[in-house]
Chains A and B, each alone.
Chain A
Amino acid sequence: MSAPLPKRIIKETERLQSEPVPGISAQPHDDNARYFDVIVEGPGGSCYEGGVFQLELFLPDDYPMCPPRIRFLTRIYHPNIDRLGRICLDVLKNNWSPALQIRTILLSIQALLGAPNPEDPLNEAVAKQWKENQPEAIKTAREWTELYAKKK
C-alpha cells in the first residue's frame, strides 16, 4: 500500500540491531516499520540512573528532511520534558539535519537526561523547582524514576 521503505530507514534499522548503542534500543513495529518502540536507560551518575524509559518514535514521510517525532511514554520528572512526554531538544526542531539519525537523536536524548537544562524549559513547574531547589528536584526525579521507570 504505502510507498516502499526508503533505503535510509532500512539501513538505520539494520544498524540499530547490528551495532546497538549501550543503554538504548529501538524496535520497529511489525506492521509499521516507521514506528519504533524505544527504550532508553537513564545515564549513570544522573538522577535517572537505573531507570528504563520507554519512548515512541515515528519517522514521518519526509524523513530525513524532517526530524523524527519522538516522545516519552514513561513518566519522567525533567525540566525539558512535559507531562505528555514531549521533549524540548534543538536537534528535534530547528537544528535538525538530515545527517542526523535515530541513533544520534536517541543519544542526544540520553545526554539530555544526564544534563537537564532548566534555562530552556518545557515543563515550567519542574524547571522552576530545578532552579530554586535543585536537590529537592533531583530527589523528586529519583523518586519518579523509582516509581515509574523501574525495570520490571
Chain B
Amino acid sequence: MDIDERPHKKRRFFAEDAVQTEPSLKSEPSLPDEIDALPESATPASGLDSTANKENVFDAETFTSIIGAEVPEDAIQSLQRAHGNNLEQAINAYFDGSWKAKVASPRKKQSPPVDKKQQRLDLKAGDGEESATSKSAGPAQKDRPNLQAMPEMRYIGALGVAGWTTRSGTGILKPGDVVKIQRERQKAPQSSSKAGRGRLPMRKTQDVIVRFTSQDGTELGRLEKESALWIGALIDQNVAQFEGHCIYAPDRIRTNETIYLQLRCFLLRPIFEAGNLMKPQDNNRQTGFFEAKETTEERDLRLRQIGLVKLFQEINLQPSTLNELTAKHKREGILQAAEVAEQLDQQDEKKRKSSQDQTNEGSSPPSEENEEGEELEQDQLDSLYKKAQSFDFNTPEAQPASTFVMDLRKYQKQALHWMLNKETREKDDHKQQSMHPLWEEYTWPNKDAEDHDLPNVEGQDCFYVNPYSGELSLEFPVQEQTCLGGILADEMGLGKTIEMLSLIHSHRSPEHEGVLNDTGMEADAVSSLARQPLSSGKVKQAPATTLVVAPMSLLAQWASEAEKASKSGTLKVLIYYGNEKGVNLQTICCGSNISSAPNVIITSYGVVLSEFNSVTGALGGNRASSGGLFGVEYWRIILDEAHMIKNRQSKTAKACYELAATHRWVLTGTPIVNRLEDLFSLVRFLRVEPWNNFSFWKTFITTPFEKGDFVRALDVVQTVLEPLVMRRTKDMKTPDGEALVPLPPKSINVEKIKLSEPEQDVYQHIFLRAKRTFNANVEAGTVMKSYTTIFAQILRLRQSCCHPILTRNKNIVAEEEDAAAAADIVAGLADDMDLGALIERFEADEGEQDASKYGAHVLKQIQDESEMECPICSEEPMEEQAVTGCWHSACKKCLLDYIEHQTSKGELPRCFNCREPISARDVFEVIKHDDDDEPDESDVLNAAIGDDDEDDLYSSTQTRTPKPKTRISLRRVNQLSSAKINTLLTQLKRLRKSEPALKSVVFSQFTSFLDLLAPALTGAGISWLRFDGSMSQKERAKVLNDFANRSKFTILLLSLRAGGVGLNLTCAKRVFMMDPWWSFAVEAQAIDRVHRMGQTEEVTVTRFIVEGSIEEKMLKVQERKKFLASSLGMMSDEEKKMQRLEDIKELLS
C-alpha cells in the first residue's frame, strides 16, 4: 500500500503502523508469544486507525490504548509535555525510546513499560540486546545476564532503512526474515560464484554499495544510497556490524521493489581497543613525526565521523553526558561540516595532495606553502579584534621580581598579572577529573530491538565517543591538562618582549627556585633527584630554562633586551644559533646543572626546523640523542612573531608543536594574519583543548565561515580567543583618556613628484599598453582570467614611477609575480621595441663626461663659489651646488628650473650668467667630500654585502678631480637618477644640513630600487646601510648595530617586506616611503618600526607619490579600503571580484 510512498524518516512510519501491524504480526513466527500477549490492549489495529483520524488530540487513554501497554504516569506526562497534542509524534517517540532522554535521568532506565510484550518490534529502537542472545533469551528473563568483559560485538540500537531489490520472484523475502548486511568488497571473495558478481571489480571506485543478502549469501537487494553511504563507511572501517530484519516486503517481489528493513547495529569490540592505537587519526594532539598520509586519514576520519553521528541520530541514542562547551554547538554542525568538507575536499584534493608533497619535501620555506582557508577581509578582521581586545583597565597588576630591573608601565604589570595567572591556573581548577571536552558519554542500551534484556557487562554501563576524531572508548576520557600559557597579542611597540621577560623573572619553576634559594647542599639534593634516568633517549626536564623562538633578525635584539632587563648575573642567556649549537642542551640545562643552566635560550625558527628535520630523519624520531632543542622539556616556550607558524601544514609549525614545555606562550601582534586558520595553528601549539583538534575547529569555525555564516564563526572564534588572548592596542586609552604609551607625535606628508620628460614617456607607454590590455580583456570578458597579466603590467607601471630602469629588470618582476606571469612579461618585453627605444633614450641622457675637460682652476673657482649665495634663489650657501657647462654655479634645482623654464617658452636655454647656450645634460652637480673624511663606510659595507653587482650603468659615473686635496668631484645631474631619487637626495641633503646626526629609514618594496638608491646616496656622499631579506643573521645584526651606533647622518635602506616585522629602529626619526603599497596598513607597520615605544622624538614620514600617476590612484584605493573596513560590510566573493575589477578600472582610468 505504502510502497510508493517512501517514509520520510525511516525510523518513524506512523502512517504505516496500522497497516503494517497485521502482516508483520502474522509473519513473525519467531516471536509467537508477543502476539499472544496482546489481549490487554484493546484491538490495537483499529485503535490506531481511529486515533489517527482523531485530529491529534492527546489524551492519555487513547495513547495507552494505542501503545497497548500501561505506560507510567510520568512518562505520559513527559511525552505530553514534549509533544503537546501531536499524538503521532508522541507515539513515535515512545516507541523509539527517545522520550526517555527527555525524562529526567536518562542514565538509568526507570520503570520500564509494564509489559514489554506489547511493544511492536518493528518500530522501536534504542532498546536491544546482543544478537546472539536475542532469540534464545526468553522474554520472561527479568535479571539481565552479566558478562565479564566486552563481547565481540555489542548491541547499540536499531533503525529502519529502505532498500531496493535486485531480484524478482515470489517468496524470496518475507517480513521477519533475517538478512545479512554486507559490503560488496567483503562479500566478493565469498560469493564469487554467484550470478551478477562479475562486474564487481569495475565498481570498486564507486564503493558505496551496501547489499542485503539472504542467509546463504544470495544477494537480494541493496540499501538506498543515502543510508548506504554512511553504513558502508562504518562497516568498512570495522566500527559496526548490522543485522537486517525485513519489516515489509510484498509477496511477489519485482526488481527494484522497495523493501523496508530494520537494521540492528552492533559495535565491534576491536574499535574500542583500537581506540588507543588509532591515535594518529586524531593527528592534532599527537602530531607524531610521520604525517605523510594525512589526507587519506583525514578522509577516513570524516567518513567515520559522519557514520557515527548519523548512526546515533538514526537510532536516536543521546549522549548521557557531554561537555558543556561542545553542547553549545549542535551535532548537526558536525554533519554539515563534514559533508561540506567532503565536497570541498573532492574539489581540491588534487591540489592539496600536490601541495602536501611539497610540504613533505621539508626544504621549502614554510611561509610559501599553500595555506588553506579563506582569507579574511580587513573589516572582518577588525570586528574580530574589536571583540577580542576588550581590555579592562582595572585588572589587577603584579610586581615583577626584584631581579627584573626595568620599570614596567601599568598595563605591562597587568599583563604580568594575567600571565602569572595563566601559568598557575592548574592549581585552581585542575583537581577534579573532568571529561575531555571532545568526548561524549553514551549509555549502553539494556534492551534489544525486541525489548529483551541484554546481558550486562560488568563495569561497562557506558561508552565514550569522540565525534570529532571518530574515536570510541570504554575508558573514561580524562581531560588533559589545560593550557598553561596563552597568546600575548599586544600591538607592536607595547613591549611584548619586556612583558615576557618580566614573566621569566617573576615565575620560576619550583626546582629552579629551589636551586636559587639554597645554593649549596639543597641544590645537590635536587640534582640527585633529577639525575635519575640517564638514558639519552629520554626527554629531560630543564626547569630553569625558557626557550625563545624568534625570527633570525630578532635574536640579537632579544638577547640585548634580556640583558638590559635583568640585574646583572641573574639571567643567563644563550643564543642557540650557528656555532653556539655545539652545546648539548641536555647536559647544560638538566640534572645537576640546573643552577648553571641558561635561563633563556634564544633560537630561530630555522634552527627549530632543521633540528626537527634531523630528529625525524636521521635520528628516527629519537628526540634526545642529538642533544638539541627537542631533547629537553623546558619550563616555558615563547614563540615570538608567532605568525611565523600560521600555516599548520608548514614544517616549521609542525616542528614547533613538538617542542616540549610546561608553559607555552606565543607573541604576535597579529594572531590572525588573514585566515582564521592562522589562529588555529597558534591554538594548536598552545594545546588548548578542544580547539587544537582540527576537525573540531573546522566544524565550528572554518566551515561556518566558508559557508558565509560569518557571525557564528566569528562568535566562536571570540570564545576561543577570550580566555587565551591579551591584546592591547596603541590607540587604547585609559579611562582617564590617556594613551597607553605616550608616543611622540608622528606626521605623514605626501611629497608629490613630477616625472622628467623621458620618465614620463616610459610611464605613458606602459600605461597605455596596460590600459589596452585591460580594455581588450574587458571586451572579451576575460578580465578575471588574465588578472595576473594585468596585475603584472600594473606592477611595471608602479616600478616606472620609481625608475624606468626597474621595468627592465626581470628579477623585480619575479619578486611579485609567479614565474609564469613573469615569463609572459619577458616575452612581451622582448618584442617591445618601443619601450626599449624609450629606455635607451633615457639612458642616453646619462652619458659620460670627459674628465680631462676640467681644469684645476675651474674647480678652484667652483669650490670658491660653493659657499656663495645662489644667484637665482639667493640661498646661501647654495643647495646642491651645480655648475653649467660654462662653469657658472647655482643651486641644482634653480639651474634645472631655469633651463626648463626657458625650454618651455620655446627658447634656447642659455646660461643665466654668460648667456652661453646650455642644456640640462650639461649640468653637473658638485660633490663635496669635506664632511666625510674617513673612507666611506658605506662603500666598505657595500662590498662586504656583495651588493656591487649592478650593471656598469650605475658605476663609474663619478668623476674624481685630479687633485684629491680639493675633494670635489662633479657628477652629471640626472645620472642613474629618477625624479624620485632626485627628490630624495635633495631632501636628505637639506636634512643633513640642519640635523647632521639624524638617522633616517628609507623603505621601498622593490629591492632593486634599493639597489639604485644605494649608489645614488654614495654619490651624494651620504652614508647608508642596507638591510634586506637576503642577508645572514650576522650581517643583519651588524647592520642594525651600526645603524644604532653611528653618530653621523645615516640612511638605512630597507625592503618593505624584510622590515615589516619586529625590528626596532627607534634611533631613526625620519621615514621615507619610496612607493605606496596596496594597503596602507602594510606601510603603517613599516612606519611603526620607527614610531614605536622607545621613540623619543617626533617622527616625520614622507611618502613619495608621483603626480598624476597610478600611485596617486593607489592612494585613493587605499583610502577606500580604509573606509570599507570601517563600514563592516561583509562582501561575498562575487562582490570582492567586482571590487577588484573596480580597483583596476580606477587604476587605469
Contact = CB atoms under 8 A, between A and B. Distances in A.
B963 interface: no
Interface string A13-52: 0000000000000000000000000000000000000000
Interface string B909-930: 0101101000000000000000
A11 B912 contact: no
Contacts of B1131: none
B901 A65 contact: yes
A116 interface: no
B874 A98 contact: no
B894 A7 contact: no
A98 B871 contact: yes
Nearest to A95: B915
A97 B912 contact: yes
B873 A6 contact: yes
B898 interface: yes
A75 to B, nearest CB: 33
B873 A62 contact: no
B894 A98 contact: yes
B872 interface: yes
A145 to B, nearest CB: 34
B875 A7 contact: yes
Interface string B892-904: 0010011001000
A97 B875 contact: no
Contact of A64 (B869, B872, B910, B913): B872
A139 interface: no
Nearest to B911: A97
Contacts of B901: 62, 65-66
A34 to B, nearest CB: 15
A6 B912 CA distance: 19
Given A95-B915, A97-B915, A99-B912, A65 B873 contact: no
Interface string B328-352: 0000000000000000000000000
B898 A98 contact: yes
Contacts of B894: 98
Interface in A58-116: 62, 64-66, 95, 97-99
Interface in B459-491: none
Nearest to A10: B874
Contacts of A99: 871-872, 912-913
Contacts of B910: 97
A12 B873 CA distance: 10
B913 A8 contact: no
B1070 to A, nearest CB: 23
Contacts of B898: 65, 98
Contacts of B869: 11
B897 A8 contact: no
Given A65-B901, A98-B894, A7 B874 contact: yes
Given A7-B874, A8-B874, A65 B897 contact: yes
A4 to B, nearest CB: 13
Contacts, number: 33
Prevailing SS type, chain A contact patch: loop
A7 B873 contact: yes
Most chain-A CB neighbours within 10 Å: which of B901, B910, B912, B915? B912
A68 B613 CA distance: 78
Interface residues of A, number: 14
A98 B894 CA distance: 9
A12 B898 CA distance: 19
Nearest to A12: B874
A73 to B, nearest CB: 28
B872 A98 contact: yes
Nearest to B894: A98
Contacts of B871: 98-99
A65 B793 CA distance: 39
Given A62-B901, A65-B901, A98 B875 contact: no
A12 B901 CA distance: 22
B915 A8 contact: no
Contacts of B897: 65
B111 to A, nearest CB: 97
B886 to A, nearest CB: 13
A66 B912 CA distance: 12
Contacts of B873: 6-8, 64
Contacts of B874: 6-8, 10-12
A123 to B, nearest CB: 27
Interface in A93-152: 95, 97-99
Nearest to B897: A65
Nearest to A7: B874
Contacts of A65: 897-898, 901
Contacts of B915: 95, 97
A93 to B, nearest CB: 12
Nearest to A6: B873
A10 B874 CA distance: 9
Interface string B421-462: 000000000000000000000000000000000000000000
Contacts of A11: 869, 874
A57 to B, nearest CB: 18
A38 B1120 CA distance: 55
A97 to B, nearest CB: 5
Most chain-B CB neighbours within 10 Å: which of A11, A12, A66, A99? A99
Contacts of A12: 874
A99 B873 CA distance: 9
A8 B871 CA distance: 9
Nearest to A15: B874
A97 B913 CA distance: 7
B160 to A, nearest CB: 90
A62 B898 CA distance: 10
B904 to A, nearest CB: 10
B683 to A, nearest CB: 58
Interface in B117-166: none
A72 B874 CA distance: 27
A48 B901 CA distance: 37
- Name the 10 nearest CB pairs between A and B, nearest first: A8-B874, A99-B871, A11-B874, A98-B872, A65-B901, A99-B912, A97-B912, A98-B912, A8-B873, A7-B874
Given A8-B873, A65-B898, A97-B912, 15 more contacts: A6-B873, A6-B874, A7-B874, A7-B875, A8-B872, A10-B874, A11-B874, A64-B872, A65-B897, A95-B915, A97-B913, A98-B871, A98-B898, A99-B871, A99-B872
5 contacts: A6-B874, A7-B874, A7-B875, A66-B901, A99-B872
